[in-house]
A and B are shown apart, each in its own frame.
Chain A
């Protein structure tokens, strides 16, 4: 399943902040159903893109050595986003330690604030996994790994 909800990073400052963009296209299936005749980006997918921006920022801070999972999120939406718009996701690390991180995020369309969120990520290691499961890196693989390359290509902010 393709579950990459950002198109590319445009700025990245290790351990501090990241900026990614997401272009909204009518070709995305969800617009057909959400909603017929009134296509708007599902709020959950805006938050997913924001969380992916923040999650990769947090993962990179530890050189992707830890599994970073979304643990908690509170968000506020200010307006809908429609096909043709480009969303800019900005994520800033507020706190970071061994156990996880707290990230402040915003989604803008142009200069207009679309959504903002406070996101808590947890580092998941052997102690948090069910007994018998190996502590493999299960977060930063596949599609996310490719996004990381775009983050690296973006370089410092």
Chain B
């Protein structure tokens, strides 16, 4: 499956799950900030992706929302520590942390959840030509 194939399926999944237009689902679109996804929508999206791609997505694998749960080793003063960033990269190898590293505030973690993140995750799961 090519990256374009994956993107097309992800787009149709998000159009159905979030009731948005095709054109809104760009690779850079953030699920919460741009596509108005709520927490419960992540559960919906995961179910639909599992069905669409015929695979199982373990809890907190694609969207580790509560990844650190305030663990002082990983979070200090509302920011992710160096250890935390390393952990984040390990847990989300498909995430592009370049921008996030500049200002790693915990409330910015959700901005990592973009359409492109989903596509990269699925590429890592199903392979890509």
Same complex for A and B? Answer yes
For the complex formed, measure the closest distance between the CB of B19 and the CB atoms of chain A, giving whole angstroms.
Answer: 7
Which residues of chain A are near B19, meaning CB under 8 Å? 74
Contact A71 B51 (CB under 8 A): no
Please determine whether B59 and A95 come into contact, CB atoms closer than 8 angstroms: no
B40–A95 CB distance below 8 A: no
The stretch of A21-29, A40-48, A96-104, A137-145 that contacts the partner chain: A96-104
A107: interface (CB < 8 Å): no
Encode B49-60 as 1/0 by CB contact (under 8 A) with A.
011000000010
CB distance from A27 to the nearest CB of B (A): 36
Q: How many residues of A contact B (CB 8 A)?
A: 13
Residue B126 lies at the interface, judged by CB distance under 8 Å to chain A: no
On chain B, the residues within 8 Å of A74 by CB distance are 19
Q: Within the complex, which residue of A97, A98, A120, A127 is in contact with B44, where a contact is CB–CB below 8 Å?
A: A120
B47 within 8 A of A: yes
Report the count of interface residues on B (CB-CB < 8 A): 12
Residue contact A122 to B43, C-beta cutoff 8 Å: yes
| Chain A residues within 8 Å of B43, by CB | 71, 99-100, 120, 122
Judged by a CB distance under 8 angstroms, whether A2 is at the interface is no
Contact indicator B59/A99 (Cβ below 8 Å): yes
Q: A74-B19, A99-B59 are in contact. Are A122 and B47 (CB under 8 A)?
A: no
Give the CA-CA distance A97 to B55 in the complex, in Å: 13
Q: Is B111 an interface residue (CB 8 A)?
A: no
* Bound: A95/B41 CA distance, A: 15
Residues of B contacting A71 with CB < 8 Å? 40, 43-44
Cross-chain contact A98 with B59 (CB below 8 angstroms): yes
What's the Cα separation between A74 and B20 when bound, in Å? 13
The 3 A-B pairs at the shortest CB distance, nearest first, are namely: A95-B47, A71-B40, A102-B47
